[in-house]
Amino acid sequence: MAEQKISRQLVQQRVRNRIIEYLELAASAEQQRDYERRAPIAKMANEMINQWEDWVNADRWDWYSQPVFSAEESKAIQSFHAVWLGVADQTPVPMPHTIEELIGTSAWNCLMVAASDTLKVFSLRGRFDDEEEERFPG
């Protein structure tokens, strides 16, 4: 089978969609509980902290650029990342076994509020196609 080259834009679109999915999960205690119920083998607390790093590289802020990421979205990612760093530093080591042990704590509430605020910024343009490059004006 021939290897298919994927454009930078399409990769960015896919990452954008995964960031939105992460923010939806991080913003909702009910979604976090549901995820934990559906995947009991996953350590949800660890997942919530580590998944962000799967999609966001703080050493490459310029990668989250237009047209796939608006200037406001890029700024929102960086702002959320600052909150995420603080929450990651405040979570216990080892991490709790269940997400319920974190839900309701001040640190987790900060994470959820920041995720919700960031999601609002992304909701203005929403998800992009995972398989085809979006056409942007200009």
Token pair 């216990």 is found at 92
Most confident residue range from 32-41, 73-82, 97-106: 73-82
**Angle (CA) 76 84 126, round 5°:** 35
Q: What is the predicted pLDDT for the residue at 35?
A: 92
Q: pLDDT of 54-99, one tens digit each? A: 999 999 999 999 999 999 999 999 999 999 999 999 988 888 888 9
Residues present in the chain in total: 138
The answer to whether 102 touches 96, Cβ cutoff 8 Å, is yes
Q: What is the predicted pLDDT for the residue at 1?
A: 59
- Residue 118 tokens read as 């960031």
* H or E element in which residue 9 lies: helix 8-26
Q: Where are the alpha helices (DSSP H) in the chain?
A: 8-26, 29-38, 44-55, 71-90, 106-123
Sign of the torsion angle spanned by Cα atoms 101, 94, 90, 75 = negative
pLDDT of 52 > 80? The answer is yes
d(CA 115, CA 94): 23
Instruction: Give residue limits of the domains in the chain.
Output: 8-123
d(CA 2, CA 134): 24
Q: What is the predicted pLDDT for the residue at 43?
A: 83
Residues 114-118, mean pLDDT to the nearest whole number: 98
d(CA 76, CA 119): 9
pLDDT of 2 > 70? The answer is no
d(CA 29, CA 113): 11
* H or E element in which residue 56 lies: none
Q: What is the predicted pLDDT for the residue at 82?
A: 98
93 versus 103: which is more confidently predicted? Answer: 103
Q: What is the predicted pLDDT for the residue at 129?
A: 97
